[in-house]
Structure 1
């Protein structure tokens, strides 16, 4: 059945025969109802602006929820309600605060270095034997041919333990030294010397973090570059000791 565009009655009330037609005969998903037309396609600029507006609204809601939770935790602490202590935020410069920072460094640094173990393995072998491992692509090819897929993660345990220790010390001692050096400078000079204080804080934390990493790095490099030295950290560290 053909329906003309000017037939208002046919457009408003389609006949029974038109309702029985398959949907494939209607390019817009079905017969037109009334005089309503399909909406125009949304432009890219309008789509991006709406997404940005939605993201901003979600951010404001999230911020309001966080502030409400903090106020609720502070009120519960003042009233002495023991069952509400879990909602209170972690106080700055407390052992729990430093432990939380260390845990964040442990997870972020250890897991990210574990993920790039194959690349680090090729890099170390290129430095030790540049004739055999000429570049990254050929290095991966040599490892795959000689050791299989399992060879790409040789030394993974030393990498995980070493860089987890480094990240924990780096994040934790950074916050500790920042409080310590700021107290030494005093409140009247801490803001003026903030850049130099932060440089000293980063250097101090990095020294401790690299000392924690050094034994594991020694085991990792030997496991990765000296065939037959050890299988992993558990038998490589006792040999060095």
Structure 2
């Protein structure tokens, strides 16, 4: 097994989890910031589908009625909210994957991937929820607030602390399945690419080859996770804009077919590339610090599981 040169810390040490957390914060925050215009359109398509009924026409309507600055509404929520979420999601996933691989010795790898990603996502969404509550309102209610600085006190003044967590359960409903499918698909895709396509062990490949595998597996993970999480994503937007008072009412108002299809094309358009870039940035930071890229269990983990 080839050792990485210039390694700052050993795997599964406190420093390792710190690097993973910082890498997750940067990768998630930067990529979500970059696709803010698409997210603004997506949310408006979910809340007002009659007015924003297509990608090109939706952008045109937003531009004409509210100006180009409208496309960047909620950018601070995207940057900081998803940065915090990404740090928790990636950092805790690495921690829980090692923890569960040591505890669940009689379970297969898929179980470890599922429970590790779910455990990490629970904490990540608690951190994200207040930012998301402000972001969605800023993006869909032009007179609500300009961003996080004036949005946070306004939500608290009108709805109290509960206003920040109105969408927590739908957020879990959207992100838990997405995260579980995404991480599991990524891990298995990495394993399949090395075994079936490259036919070499990861440790025997160059860093550039490893990052290429990361990108291919990341795109597959994003595409699959998007379809699974779309119904809950529609419900979150509906609840935050007070189109319904509860999950069941929101689902009934939207309709079964629309839950799965509304805003799906635009989500597929940006979620796949975003997830790919997240994994690329995340693994690039790990490689820069002398650590191996993501995917699969370490040799010690494989022996334990």
TM bucket (normalised to shorter chain) is: 0.5 to 0.7
Q: What residue in structure 1 maps to residue 46 of structure 2?
A: 127
1:149 lines up with 2:64 in the alignment: no
1:214 lines up with 2:129 in the alignment: yes
Inter-partner Cα distance in structure 2 for 1:185 and 1:128: 43
Inter-partner Cα distance in structure 2 for 1:142 and 1:94: 51
Cα deviation for residue 88 of structure 1 reads 4.3
Q: What residue in structure 2 maps to residue 197 of structure 1?
A: 112
Post-superposition CA distance 1:164-212 (Å, at most 9, x none): 11110110000111121122234xx3xx532211211011111111221
1:232 lines up with 2:147 in the alignment: yes
1:96 to 2, 15, 18: 15
Unpaired runs of 5+ in structure 2? 157-305
Following superposition of structure 1 onto structure 2, how do residues 26-175 of structure 1 map, counting pairs within 5 Å?
Answer: 67=3, 70=5, 87-175=6-94
Post-superposition CA distance 1:85-123 (Å, at most 9, x none): xx4442111111111001111111111111111111011
Higher alpha-carbon Rg: 1
Inter-partner Cα distance in structure 2 for 1:89 and 1:219: 38
Cα deviation for residue 162 of structure 1 reads 0.8
Inter-partner Cα distance in structure 1 for 2:15 and 2:42: 38
Unpaired runs of 5+ in structure 1? 1-62, 71-86
Inter-partner Cα distance in structure 1 for 2:53 and 2:98: 47
- Normalised TM-score (structure 1): 0.61
- Cα root mean square deviation, aligned: 1.8
Q: Whose RCO is larger (CA < 8 A, sep 6+)?
A: 2
Moved more, 138-147 or 214-223: 138-147
Inter-partner Cα distance in structure 2 for 1:195 and 1:219: 35
Inter-partner Cα distance in structure 2 for 1:145 and 1:107: 33
